[in-house]
Amino acid sequence: MGDWMIGDDRRRRSTDQLRNLKKANDGQVRWDTEAPADFTFLYHPDHLLVGAEDVDDLEAAFARLDKGVLSEPPRRDDVRILGGDLVRYVLPERPGGESVPDVVALLEQSGLRPGAASPDHWVHVSPGGGGGGTTCPAVEPQETGLTEPWPPVAPQEKGCEVSVVVVDTGWNPPSGTDGRTPWLEGVTGDDEDNGPELRPYAGHGTFIAGVVRCMAPMTQVHVEGFALGGVGGGGILESEIVQQLEEAMKHEPQVINLSAGCRTHLDRPSIAFRKFHRRHLEDADCVLVAAAGNDSWAAPFWPAAFPWAVGVGSLDRDGRVSEFSNFGVSADVYTLGRNIVNAFPDGTFVCHETPDKGDVRVFSTGLARWSGTSFAAPIVAGLIARQISVSGSTAKEARDAVMALAVHDSDPMIGPHLELHPSFE
């Protein structure tokens, strides 16, 4: 499709992101609409997910399909996901050209319980769609003249150490020993292997770790990386992100920050995230905080939309809900998410997305300015961690205490909602 046919900048940006994501993943990305700018969810072209309890029913439904739908029996993947609770099938060639969502529909027509099987969705730190919706991050990173983070490092002299894991693109080790970013001293993580030419989404996890540390200085932060060396272009399959979350649980976190997510087929709850919660979070002293997404819509964005997650939307400096922020079931609370300043790798960054595509940005101060619900989420994660630290409470008690500080407001576009306005001193 020629760029001239795509439309306005928002639609062009969504198209740019999809092209980049598909290229970074060897073409293994599909969407649910003809025009890429209109997509609502992304998925692997051959994967099907099912809970272990529904495997027998799925196998029976496969057997009931018309012989011409699948060229051969589907192959059950050998990878054990979540201890076998989540099963991934690889579909063979479909002579009629049916997509994975088409196959799901045929399986349900043959008697499979609706929602038992699902495409393997792409989770991304930059999910987009909805007719060119603004994405997360809402903009590519920008240079800043500031020499201190914003929000600043909160004063905290007493408290116990709290474990926070940021599941994200990876960690930039030089930021942990850089005199310009002393608040990151002691942070650990998977090296995202940055060079002088920065890849798309480089520094995303480091920036978020910095926001958490500014809000809660007495935290032990670890960055669990899923896009090391730029692999995946900032995207990861639903079936794989839960394996990264499972790795994160080995650090015994009290708070997990996930500034990523996805829309799903028919907006059904993500099977993979649901399984992860039941296996690891339901009985754990741990809270998951997730970005609500930046598509300016109310449709569920997973995992933020789950009742067990704290979904965070974005506010502007003037207290208004950011125009890019998702709302509704995915945003339990809103806090500052525009023009956040924190740690970022030094290097040269070439913008990949409309309207700034081709612009060259040089980062040389150890900091950047960034906007999106990606950066509102760690403010809330940090507030919860600090509450645990100063009170000695459980993670869920701390979550409830922080949410109790939220104030009611109303927006002409999204209606009544809750906002957190921590004092940045």
Query: What residues are labeled active site?
Result: 168, 204, 374
Tokens of 52: 């272990």
CA atoms within 13 A on the CB side of 251: 23
Query: Other CB atoms closer than 10 Å to residue 62's CB: what's the count?
Result: 21
The count of other CB atoms within 10 Å of the CB of residue 351 is 18
Give the ranges where 128-281 is alpha helix by DSSP (H): 204-215, 238-248, 271-276
| Tally of CA atoms within 13 A in the half-sphere of 379 that contains its CB | 30
| C-beta neighbour count of 329 within 10 angstroms | 17
CA distance 86 to 44: 16
Number of Cβ within a 10 Å radius of residue 317 = 10
Give the number of residues written for the chain: 425
For residue 384, give the H/E element and its range: helix 373-391
Q: Are 289 and 309 in contact (CB under 8 A)?
A: yes
Helices vs strands, H then E, count in the chain: 8, 20
DSSP 357-369: TT-EEEE-SSEEE
Task: Please give the structure tokens belonging to residue 230.
Answer: 């730029």
Alpha helices in 216-358 (DSSP H): 238-248, 271-276
Q: Name which of 237, 120, 183, 246 is nearest 378 in CA terms.
A: 183
**Placement of tokens 């459980």 in the chain:** 394
> Of 208, 97, 211, nearest to 152 (Cα)?
211
